[in-house]
Structure 1
């Protein structure tokens, strides 16, 4: 168990940035939130809406009020995390969220409230405090709708980002289970992401006719220009998964799948000097475990969020695409952490782009994606930063895994360097239906495969990014 002090334990007096968000009832249109920056005595009203019409396609004729509350909670978390500035002056945030819901007694009860606040503290590095009040407002259209729509029976419900992992994961599952239908759930507030989700899903549907069904619930700001928003939402993965859980529940399922390679999901830190590099916990195994616990507590029955690719590298996920010669599909997807406004859009040198390029190279898939670093007219000042840190981590992993041939000693070495791996096994082995020793073995094999893949393609990925000095610096980790 992680013994690191919580955000609440770290805060002393006023040593944080305090924000309050008073939400009006979440609506399809004309909803709003009053955002208060307490430290600057600044207040602004921002419009926020959710288009949940897609939830009209469901197994259940009636729409449970508690599921509607789950949707409203996800919308409030999304808006709060986007509106409250991230860690100004090195101080953590404290967000007080006032939200009207249909069942305030359930959302205010323990242990739900504690589980929710702990999840968000873990995912965002901020302290969250909720004040659930009684909602008095007309219901959204989908809540009133009682018509039973045609939906696939016995389906697998999965989050759908339109990214390479989502594509490769879905393609692999479609081949593994040729009779199973799939419901893909997407969300977000970006028109470009929304369009890409549809384009990639449409292409997959043309390859596997009648087996994929895309449903999306976008969250939109309006009248919000007065308040600058965070470009990266630390709570993005939590919001996506909570809404996906609502979709799965309405489809009669009690499991939501997330397709993400294990390297990216666990997202081990590179090294102590890698300050400022993103280490998102969006689909971390413990995040998925905690979201499942929060949803189970609220709904009063067991609900699970499952990543069937936790022990797969990104290259292994792409193997099915390679076997079928589907070089045409990866260029449809987006992986970049910092998309450019002009073509090429994807940078090719952030950690997500590099892992994408490594995976496609390791599976001999011709990468038709255009990247700034390979096809752009101007390079950034430090295009090698992320690659140097990634290669330093690979060097560390190689040393740890080669220190002994005994799995228990390899695990001991790995967890001494990365103690969070012990937490993943201690809390996740039961969820994965594995003995702790078996889960340790599978994680060791995951990182062994990852190192081998880099050994095979490092020189190819480094072209144009690393000079000899950079390469030597990246290797000085063992």
Structure 2
């Protein structure tokens, strides 16, 4: 039986300005260093920013890191029967993540998406807290609908269907930003949509940075879907 791969994830917080409270994660896999940066704010085009709660921020970090590891596990390692990864991960809400039922469900979930056996060991995230930011302000009397919107054609078609079906409802678009090129395209498209549909009021988003490429990248990582789902749920 093969020895499990052991991965130690480290983290730190960096505050640049009120829009740039970032949490960075780093780890070593197969003698190569990887890093990931997650903005700890939900950013609104209209109401500024709001800090993400600790449990959601922890989950975002876990799923992002699992997705990154899953992309760069070597193909020969994937062929090992009962291939296992033991990962030590820093979290803010240590009591929550150490609950047996939570840990078991998480291991089952990421195991399903990766075909890898995962064993989590959670440790306390002692990185400094990010600066608090004002909460988003919504009028509770308004009828609001939150739409996940990537900027792609499929999400655009879904948005138009909802907007045309409910012309009196106010819509908020939720999206995820990564590379700078996609960011510029999304912002331009959003401004065009607002001009066409005044009831599309604003856009909220999280900006993450993970820009790793190598020849071992796994092109069929199912964790990509989980990664986008969790990012969307965080915004919701």
Superposition TM-score, scaled by structure 1 size = 0.41
Structure richer in helix, relative to its length: 1
- Assess if the C-alpha contact under 8 Å between 1:32 and 1:45 holds in 2: no
Q: Structure 2: which 5+ residue stretches go unaligned?
A: 15-21
- Assess if the C-alpha contact under 8 Å between 1:22 and 1:99 holds in 2: yes
In structure 1, what is the equivalent of residue 19 of structure 2?
none
Aligned-residue offset at 1:198 = 3.1
1:206 aligns with 2:195: yes
Provide the C-alpha distance between the structure 2 equivalents of 1:66 and 1:241, rounded to a whole number of angstroms.
16
- Assess if the C-alpha contact under 8 Å between 1:76 and 1:99 holds in 2: no
Aligned-residue offset at 1:100 = 0.7
1:47 aligns with 2:40: no
In structure 1, what is the equivalent of residue 136 of structure 2?
149
Aligned-residue offset at 1:177 = 1.7
Aligned-residue offset at 1:188 = 5.2
Q: Relative to 1, partners in 2 of residues 1:50 and 1:89: Cα closer, same or farther, differing over 3 Å? A: closer
CA deviation vs aligned residue, 1:340-371 (integer Å, no higher than 9, x gap): xxxxxxxxxxxxxxxxxxxxxxxxxxxxxxxx
- Assess if the C-alpha contact under 8 Å between 1:152 and 1:181 holds in 2: no
Which one of the candidate residues 84, 100, 122 is aligned to 1:94?
Answer: 84
Q: Which has the higher contact order (CA 8 A, sep 6+)?
A: 2
1:33 aligns with 2:26: yes
- Assess if the C-alpha contact under 8 Å between 1:188 and 1:218 holds in 2: yes
**Match runs of 1:155-234 below 5 Å:** 155-187=144-176, 189-221=178-210, 229-234=217-222
Q: Relative to 1, partners in 2 of residues 1:51 and 1:20: Cα closer, same or farther, differing over 3 Å? A: same
Provide the C-alpha distance between the structure 2 equivalents of 1:60 and 1:218, rounded to a whole number of angstroms.
12
Q: Which has the larger Rg? A: 1
Q: Structure 1: which 5+ residue stretches go unaligned?
A: 1-12, 38-42, 249-478
- Calculate the aligned-residue CA RMSD, in Å: 3.3
- Assess if the C-alpha contact under 8 Å between 1:161 and 1:197 holds in 2: yes
Superposition TM-score, scaled by structure 2 size = 0.77
Provide the C-alpha distance between the structure 1 equivalents of 2:115 and 2:34, rounded to a whole number of angstroms.
24
* Segments ≥4 residues shifted beyond 6 Å: 56-62
Provide the C-alpha distance between the structure 1 equivalents of 2:9 and 2:49, rounded to a whole number of angstroms.
28
Q: Which moved more, 1:161-170 or 1:49-58?
A: 49-58
CA deviation vs aligned residue, 1:78-118 (integer Å, no higher than 9, x gap): 33223333565634653333211111221121322222222
Structure richer in strand, relative to its length: 2
In structure 2, what is the equivalent of residue 65 of structure 1?
54
Number of equivalent positions: 225
SS of the residue aligned with 2:222? coil
Provide the C-alpha distance between the structure 2 equivalents of 1:230 and 1:159, rounded to a whole number of angstroms.
26
In structure 1, what is the equivalent of residue 130 of structure 2?
140
Aligned-residue offset at 1:225 = 6.8
